[in-house]
């Protein structure tokens, strides 16, 4: 009895000393979780005899064991994008072009020249974690008012995961000082089709009859064409859609329609682009309206950006495109040569990553083959082509045999040597292998 009275007294004292919290007050929250913090747990959903707790490190280990949400976009972080074609993207009008960031193509229309380039302007970047953005700009002085678009088509093998799912396409975006779109609106698309790897040109045509194609994907439809007003203050936005169970192709695009003559800062800057499954946003699906990502009223809880390590991103991007660019210093390129004749060397270039399909090759001279058996100097390749001297040979997913032709004369047939970077000081040479969609 005495023990019971002592217990009751202790409980009464605890109640008196407890702070008074209004019924509608938010529960207290910590600003940061430390490695030694403990969290109450109901093990397996079953109450235990006494209180049990899990440490923050234990929870972190469990979280790390969960499957990724599966960001289907490659190169969506401008910091880990390889920019093999150059960080200042090529100028584009009517034809869908891979001209700047890896894996992203872009197009516009007549008198509406545009570029997509790497952007490090502080005002164009999210608050943290993004040292670079993608600047999608209409060229100053252009008068065309045809939509400008940047897009990525996802390989069919990576599209099946979205069948019947809620898809979230999210990104950071900010408008340049002269952004000319009416009401500062952009349109974020999630596009689906029922074909197999039909490519970016068809996808572009299916969006707005642009890009130089002649038809869209088989069964192409906009799962969403979400209109999103942006501003000169960086924000994070999302287009959310239900993906048909029959979809075998999926892609995303961001477009905006310019107005009037382009100023010097008629652009949008984008960062952290991803396409993921997120069933928690099913109630926010819309075919026409975009969402603001956040945790306050009127916003949606978007998925955290699935940032992959540089090594993983490099491997993924090289599956679609690989470029060797002449440098300003002569050096041996990854390749060995055998002289077919004194004027042609057959040089094998191995790709660093197996490519999606056998690539299309493009060449610009700026390379050498060994000029003698000792390989102490090289002769200039005045012509570079995929080998025609080896019957039936073409590029494969693992490498390509190149003919380096020159009238200067090289070693005798059968002599082994190296494939060299000419290092002219004003490099123009390149070897491109493209397996892009």
Largest CA distance in the chain: 111
The model's pTM is: 0.85
Q: What is the dihedral of CA 61, 66, 72, 74, to 10 degrees?
A: 20
Give the separation between CA 261 and CA 144, rounded to whole angstroms.
8
Contact 182, 140 (CB under 8 A): no
Q: Over 80: is that where the pLDDT of 17 sits?
A: no
Contact 437, 197 (CB under 8 A): yes
Domain boundaries, the chain: 105-318, 321-434
Superfamily (CATH H level) for 105-318: Galactose-binding domain-like (2.60.120.260)
Helix (H) or strand (E) holding 175: strand 166-175
Dihedral sign, Cα of residue 293, residue 277, residue 80, residue 32: positive
- Residue 12: per-residue pLDDT: 56
DSSP-assigned states of every residue in 358-392: SPEEEEES-EEEESSTT-SSEEE-SEEEE-SSSTT
Contact 82, 317 (CB under 8 A): yes
Give the separation between CA 409 and CA 47, rounded to whole angstroms.
85
CB-based contacts of 314: which residues, under 8 Å, 6+ apart? 80, 82
DSSP-assigned states of every residue in 322-362: EEEE--SS-EEEEEEEEEEETTEEEEEEE-SS--SSSPEEE
Q: Is 188 helix (H, G, I), strand (E, B) or coil?
A: strand
Question: What would the pLDDT profile of 332-387 be if each residue is shown by its tens digit?
Answer: 777 899 999 999 999 999 999 999 999 999 999 999 999 988 888 888 999 999 99
CB-based contacts of 337: which residues, under 8 Å, 6+ apart? 345, 346, 347, 348, 369, 370, 404, 416, 417, 418, 419
How many Å from the N-terminal Cα to the C-terminal Cα in the chain? 81
355-389: buried (b, 16+ CB within 10 Å) or exposed (e) per residue?
Answer: bbeebebebebbbbbbbeeebeebbbbeebeebee
Helix (H) or strand (E) holding 400: strand 399-405
Q: Over 50: is that where the pLDDT of 62 sits?
A: no
Question: What would the pLDDT profile of 411-437 be if each residue is shown by its tens digit?
Answer: 899 999 999 899 988 889 999 999 999
Question: What would the pLDDT profile of 313-346 be if each residue is shown by its tens digit?
Answer: 999 999 999 999 999 888 877 789 999 999 999 9
Give the separation between CA 164 and CA 169, rounded to whole angstroms.
16
Give the separation between CA 146 and CA 130, rounded to whole angstroms.
30
- Residue 135: per-residue pLDDT: 98
Contact 421, 431 (CB under 8 A): no
Q: What is the dihedral of CA 150, 154, 159, 162, to 10 degrees?
A: -20
DSSP designation for 152: E
Question: What would the pLDDT profile of 179-231 be if each residue is shown by its tens digit?
Answer: 999 999 999 999 999 999 999 999 999 999 999 999 999 999 999 999 999 99
* C-alpha dist (Å) from residue 382 to 16, 338, 350: 92, 17, 21
């Amino acid at each position: 009895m005495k023990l019971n009275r002592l217990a009751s007294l202790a409980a009464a004292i605890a109640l008196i000393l407890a702070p008074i919290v209004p019924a509608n007050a938010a529960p207290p929250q910590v600003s940061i979780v430390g490695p030694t913090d403990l969290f109450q747990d109901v093990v397996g959903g079953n109450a235990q005899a006494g209180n049990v707790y899990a440490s923050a490190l234990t929870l972190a280990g469990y979280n790390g064991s969960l499957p990724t949400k599966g960001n289907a976009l490659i190169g969506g972080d401008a910091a880990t994008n390889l920019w093999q074609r150059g960080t200042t993207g090529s100028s584009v009008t009517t034809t869908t072009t891979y001209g700047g960031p890896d894996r992203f193509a872009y197009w516009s229309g007549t008198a509406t020249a545009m570029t997509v380039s790497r952007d490090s302007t502080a005002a164009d970047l999210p608050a943290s974690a993004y040292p670079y953005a993608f600047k999608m700009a209409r060229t100053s002085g252009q008068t065309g008012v045809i939509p400008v678009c940047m897009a990525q088509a996802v390989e069919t093998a990576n599209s099946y995961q979205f069948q019947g799912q809620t898809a979230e396409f999210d990104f950071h975006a900010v408008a340049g000082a002269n952004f000319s779109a009416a009401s500062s609106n952009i349109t974020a698309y999630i596009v689906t089709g029922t074909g197999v790897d039909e490519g970016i040109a068809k996808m572009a045509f299916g969006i707005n009859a642009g890009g130089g194609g002649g038809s869209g994907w088989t069964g192409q439809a906009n799962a969403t064409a979400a209109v999103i007003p942006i501003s000169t203050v960086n924000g994070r936005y999302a287009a959310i859609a239900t993906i048909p169970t029959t979809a075998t192709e999926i892609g995303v695009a961001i477009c905006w329609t310019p107005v009037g003559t382009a100023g010097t800062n008629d652009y949008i800057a984008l960062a952290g682009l991803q396409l993921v499954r997120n069933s928690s946003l099913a109630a926010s699906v819309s075919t026409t309206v975009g969402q603001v990502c956040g945790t306050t009223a009127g916003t949606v809880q978007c998925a955290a950006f699935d940032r992959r390590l540089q090594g993983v991103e490099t491997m993924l991007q090289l599956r679609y495109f690989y470029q060797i660019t002449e440098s300003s210093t002569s050096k041996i390129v990854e390749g060995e040569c055998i002289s077919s004749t004194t004027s042609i060397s057959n040089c094998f270039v191995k790709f660093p990553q197996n490519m999606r399909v056998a690539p299309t090759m493009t060449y610009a001279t700026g390379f050498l083959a060994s000029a003698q058996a000792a390989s102490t100097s090289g002769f200039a390749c005045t012509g570079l082509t995929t080998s025609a001297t080896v019957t039936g040979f073409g590029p494969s997913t693992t490498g390509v045999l190149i003919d380096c032709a020159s009238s200067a004369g090289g070693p005798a047939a059968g002599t082994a040597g190296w494939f060299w970077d000419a290092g002219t000081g004003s490099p123009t040479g390149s070897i491109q292998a493209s397996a892009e969609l």
